[in-house]
Amino acid sequence: MKGDLEILRGIAPEPERMTAVRRRVLDQIAEHNGPRGLLLLAWTFSAVAAAVAMMLLWPQEKRLAPSWIHLPAAVEPPAFAYELTPPWRGLQEPQPATARPEHPAIEVVGLTDNDVQLRLASSDPDVILYYFVEKSGD
Amino acid sequence: MSATCSGGDLFILWMEEQVDPTPGEAESLRLIEQAHQGDLEAFDRLMRLHERRVFRTATLLLGRPEDADDAVQETFLRLYRAMGSFDASRAFEPWLYRIAVNVCRDLSRRRRWKQWLSLDGWLTAGGSEPATRSHGASREAEIQAALARLSVRERDAVVLRDIEGLSAAEAARALGVSEGTVRSHASRGRAHLRKLLGGSE
C-alpha cells in the first residue's frame, strides 16, 4: 500500500500543459480586469456626480441671522411663548404673546447666563429657525 | 481484530509522515497580497507554487487528468476573484483546497449532467473512468480506480488527509465539515480502499 500511495503523490502535470493553463488564467484575468477597470471608473464618476447633484439640489435648511429680543426678567417657561411672526415673511419684530401659544415646535435648546436659544420650526418642515434671545433684567 | 487495528494505525501514522513539503505559507501570503494589489507576476508565481498540488488533487477527485486541467484553471480563476475575501490570519492552503474541492464538485456535477443528456456520453461514460483504465496493468490506475469507487466524501477525506497531507483541522476547513466528520470519512475510506486493493497491504 505504501508504494501504491507514493505513486499517487507522484502525479504531476506536464509543465507545458500547466504553462498553457496559467496563460489562460492570466489572459482571462486581464480580459476581465480591462472592462472592470473602466466600469469601476465610470461607476465612481457617476457616483460622485450624483452625490454633487444631490448636495446642490437638496433642500437647504433655511437659517436666519440671530434676532435679539427681550424676555421678561423672570424667565418662566411661559415667557418663552412668544408669538413670532414668521421671519421669512419679512423679518418682523417678534412680539410677546398674550398667552402661551400652542405651537409645539418651540423648544429651548440652550440656556446660558445671558442668552436663551430657542429653536423654532415653522409649518414648513424644511424651515428651522434658531433664535437667540437675551434675558432682560439680569 | 487487534492486529487489524494496529495495522490501520500504522497505516495512518505512515500516511501522516509522508507529506509533501508545504510550499511556504509566508511566501503564499506575500504573493497573494501582491497579486491582490494587481501584480499579475506575483499571481503567476503563486500559481506555479501550488499548481502541482491543485492538479494532483483535481486528478484524484475527478479521476481524469483531462478534467484536472480545467479544474486547475477554474480553481486559480476563483482564487483570483476571491482574493479580496481571504482572511490573512488563517492558513492559505486549506482555503485553496476548499476552492479546488468545490471546483471539482461542480465539474463532476456538470460532467454527470452532460453524460445524462448525451446518449453517447451515457454509453461511453464507464469507458473513461479510471476503473476501466486499470485494465492497463498500471498500478497507479488501479489505485485511482479504487479511489474512484469510494464515496465522494470518503474520497475527498482520503485525498486531502492521506495524499495531500492536510491535518484533520485543515481538511475539515477545506471540506467545510467538522474534524470528527473528516476523521470518520477518512477512516472509512481507508478501510474501503484496503478492501478494494485487497492483498496489497
The 3-class secondary structure across chain B, one letter per residue, is CHHHHHHHHHHHHHHHHCCCCCCCHHHHHHHHHHHHCCCHHHHHHHHHHHHHHHHHHHHHHHCCHHHHHHHHHHHHHHHHHHHHHCCCCCCHHHHHHHHHHHHHHHHHHHHHHHHHHCHHHHHHHHHHCHHHHHHHCCHHHHHHHHHHHCCHHHHHHHHHHHHCCCCHHHHHHHHCCCHHHHHHHHHHHHHHHHHHCCCCC
CB contact under 8 A, B14 and A11: no
Chain B residues with CB under 8 Å of A6 CB are 18
Residue of B nearest to A28 (CA): B77
| All cell numbers assigned to B37 | 494589489
What type of residue is B182?
A: V
Query: In 3D, which of B112, B148, B113 has the Cα closest to residue B130?
Result: B148
Q: Which of A25, A26, A27 to mutate to test the interface with B (most CBs of B within 10 A)?
A: A25
Smallest Cβ–Cβ distance between A4 and the set B65, B76, B197 belongs to B197
Q: Is A109 on the interface with B (CB under 8 A)?
A: no
What ipTM is given for this predicted complex? 0.71
Chain A residues with CB under 8 Å of B144 CB are 8
pLDDT bin (cut points 50, 70, 90) of residue B26 is: confident
**Alpha-carbon B12 to chain mean position:** 18
Confidence at residue A119, expressed as pLDDT on a 0 to 100 scale? 52
Q: Which residue has the cell 489572459?
A: A27
Query: For each of chain A's 138 residues, which pLDDT tens digit applies?
Result: 545 666 788 888 888 999 999 999 999 888 877 666 677 888 999 999 999 999 888 766 544 444 434 433 333 443 444 444 444 344 344 444 444 434 444 455 444 445 555 555 444 444 444 444 444 443
How much is the mean pLDDT over chain B?
78
Residue of A nearest to B193 (CA): A1
For A24, the enclosing helix (H) or strand (E) is helix A15-57
Q: Express each pLDDT in B106-135 by its tens digit.
A: 988 888 766 666 554 444 444 444 434 434
Smallest Cβ–Cβ distance between B80 and the set A12, A24, A29 belongs to A29
Q: Which of A125-134, B39-48, B185-194 has the lowest mean pLDDT?
A: A125-134
Q: How far apart are CA B76 and CA B52, in angstroms?
A: 12
Name B102's Cβ contacts closer than 8 Å, sequence gap at least 6: B78
pLDDT bin (cut points 50, 70, 90) of residue B103 is: very high
| All cell numbers assigned to A73 | 426678567
Q: Is A5 on the interface with B (CB under 8 A)?
A: yes
Examine the pLDDT at B138 and tell me if it is beyond 50.
Answer: yes
What type of residue is A75?
A: V
Q: Is B57 on the interface with A (CB under 8 A)?
A: no
CB contact under 8 A, B77 and A11: no
Residue of B nearest to A9 (CA): B163
Give strand pairing partners of A135.
A71
Q: Is A16 on the interface with B (CB under 8 A)?
A: no
Kindly report the backbone phi and psi dihedral angles of residue B130, in degrees, each rounded to the nearest multiple of 5, phi listed first.
-60, -25
Q: Express each pLDDT in A60-100 by its tens digit.
A: 654 444 443 443 333 344 344 444 444 434 434 444 444 44
Kindly report the backbone phi and psi dihedral angles of residue A76, in degrees, each rounded to the nearest multiple of 5, phi listed first.
-100, 155
Q: Is B31 on the interface with A (CB under 8 A)?
A: no
Q: How far apart are CA B161 and CA B153, in angstroms?
A: 12
Whether B77 and B26 have beta carbons less than 8 Å apart is answered as no
Confidence at residue A9, expressed as pLDDT on a 0 to 100 scale? 83
Confidence at residue A77, expressed as pLDDT on a 0 to 100 scale? 41
Q: How far apart are CA A100 and CA A118, in angstroms?
A: 15
Q: Is B43 on the interface with A (CB under 8 A)?
A: yes
